[in-house]
Structure 1
Amino acid sequence: MNHKKLVIIPTFNEKENIQDIIMAVMDLAGHFEVLIIDDNSPDGTAGIVKNLQQSFESRIHLIERKGKLGLGTAYITGFKYALEKDYDYIFEMDADFSHNPKDLIRLYESCAIDGFDLTIGSRYIKGVNVVNWPMGRVLMSYFASVYVQFITGLPIKDTTAGFKCYHRSVLEGIKLDKIKFVGYAFQIEMKFTAWKLGYKITEIPIIFTDRTKGTSKMSTHIFKEAVLGVIYMKFKSLFSPYKRAKVSQSELL
């Protein structure tokens, strides 16, 4: 199977991690490519990526944006790029090694071999697999997922997970310009929408390790958006049926 695979990594001030995370992906079997979407990091993250491009010109891609525009809009930008460039499988991954790059292969095989449309790297499918987080944050994350499941009925244990593999058909079927949220609620909204549209979704267990370099981007605003956003999504779904986007052949050329 000679599938085109793109790993999308949004960045803001990740100079401590960016070279190592990109090289870890470059070293994987299966010819993964990387798209960095950098929100004008003042620490020079984009410059490090440009230096690496000289050695891996066809496999490392960079989109520079003018400022911090949010996680969700970064991924939407990446998804549109991936569809335009005809990638078959598109991945979401953090830059800080909280997600193990080696697990990209397991995510890919779950979709490409086992036939799922969306595979999620889950912290909670087998107990709680989180390393180096304070207990308060573990509990907040875990019960956030329980809350999402309770409100929406979404049959996913790790609803806020940001380590995923999409078959391109999912991103074609979701009306990306209609995705409302930009923080962690974006992760919930994408899963909820894919589920409502009838795509085959599964979770595989991963071990999530908190970053050791750089600083977290979590904020109370992001958390509040997720809490209120779940209610909005459920309410909207009661009155507005979900339909897959119709993608014409000309749009994919």
Structure 2
Amino acid sequence: MTNPRRSSSAPPSSVLVVIPTFNERDNLRAVVRRLTAAVPAAHVLIVDDNSPDGTGALADELAETDERLHVLHREAKAGLGAAYVAGFDWALRRGYEAVVEMDADGSHAPEQLATMLETLSARGAGTVLGSRYVPGGRVLNWPWYRSLLSRGGNLYSKWALGVGINDLTGGFRVYRSEVLRGLDMHTVASQGYCFQVDLAMRAVEAGSSVVEVPITFVERESGESKMTGAIVREALFRVTKWGLRRRGGRLLALARRTIVPRRHPRR
């Protein structure tokens, strides 16, 4: 947990849940139904990347019957990070006070969002991360190699970046709007799960109070995982690069503090 500076302890009066989709037609209806039942006051933005399976059309159909649902159509699949940035921009322009990241595949239980929102207020946090790797958190139905990859990746990222966060790659999160405004999101080039590492690191560097809340992550039952070898390689490369930059910056700052300027004798 990182807590360099506390944010407002006031509960957000308006919450938007951003759900990126690409070929999630089989999962979307159930996720939206569970979400609106679990947190009735929240609004939902479905950001669809022109899914060939008709996910965008289904999202429009659902939005027609519920004023809490909104749909943002994008022309093509451009990556998870770009979809979230588009959703965050949409939320900030409309004045929502808290913005949630959540997957469309059922891996994130909507029923756990209420606890995350309560933590945002009770702990005065700027960012709340749903964490699989703190006491009480767990993962269900993953094969051993997927668990090993995820745990190993998070341990390496935590060590390389020197941040006190146990689940840097998780995609179930709540941000206060003022935190997102200070993260310079449009300079985030990373995609896939590396986007989550990038945004968490930026929140820490910006001084946001970051709190991890245990969640139960469940492997999707239908559809295909978006995890690819390219995403893993990107994450390894970028995390290593960021880690070297952060450590180099700390060493330079230490050197500046310890070097004593040479005093010249008076004439």
Tell whether the structures are fold-level matches, with TM greater than 0.5.
Answer: yes
Counterparts of 2:209 and 2:27 in 1: how far apart (Å)? 33
Counterparts of 2:12 and 2:25 in 1: how far apart (Å)? 32
Q: 1:222 — aligned with what?
A: 231
Q: 1:157 — aligned with what?
A: 166
Moved more, 22-31 or 5-14: 22-31
Select 2:23's aligned residue among 9, 13, 34.
13
Structure of higher RCO (CA pairs closer than 8 Å, 6+ residues apart): 2
Shift of 1:28: 2.2
Counterparts of 1:232 and 1:81 in 2: how far apart (Å)? 31
Q: 2:139 — aligned with what?
A: 130
Select 2:50's aligned residue among 18, 33, 40.
40
Select 1:209's aligned residue among 214, 218, 223.
218
Shift of 1:2: 6.5
Counterparts of 1:64 and 1:129 in 2: how far apart (Å)? 33
Q: 2:61 — aligned with what?
A: 51
Select 2:119's aligned residue among 99, 107, 110.
110
Select 2:200's aligned residue among 177, 191, 196.
191
Q: TM-score, normalised by structure 1?
A: 0.91
Structure 2 counterpart of 1:52, which letter?
L
1:73-112 equivalent positions in 2, closer than 5 A? 73-112=82-121
Structure whose alpha-carbon radius of gyration is higher: 2
Conservation of the 8 A alpha-carbon contact between 2:136 and 2:215: no
1:137-156 equivalent positions in 2, closer than 5 A? 137-156=146-165
Residue-pair matches, total: 240
Structure 1 counterpart of 2:77, which letter?
K
- Structure 1 stretches (4+) deviating beyond 6 angstroms? none
Could you give the per-residue CA deviations for residues 116-162 of structure 1, whole angstroms, max 9, x where no partner exists? Answer: 11000000002761100001110110010000011110110011010
Conservation of the 8 A alpha-carbon contact between 2:127 and 2:211: yes
Residue 45 of structure 2 aligns to a residue whose secondary structure is strand
Counterparts of 1:167 and 1:175 in 2: how far apart (Å)? 14
Conservation of the 8 A alpha-carbon contact between 2:137 and 2:215: no
Structure 2 counterpart of 1:215, which letter?
E
Matched, 1:26 2:36: yes
* CA distance 1:29–1:73, change in 2 (3 Å): closer
The gaps in structure 2 that reach 5 residues or longer are 1-10, 251-267
Counterparts of 1:127 and 1:48 in 2: how far apart (Å)? 35
1:65-76 equivalent positions in 2, closer than 5 A? 65-76=74-85
Q: 2:128 — aligned with what?
A: 119
The gaps in structure 1 that reach 5 residues or longer are 241-253
Q: 2:6 — aligned with what?
A: none
Residue 3 of structure 1 aligns to a residue whose secondary structure is coil
Give % identity: 37
* CA distance 1:108–1:127, change in 2 (3 Å): closer
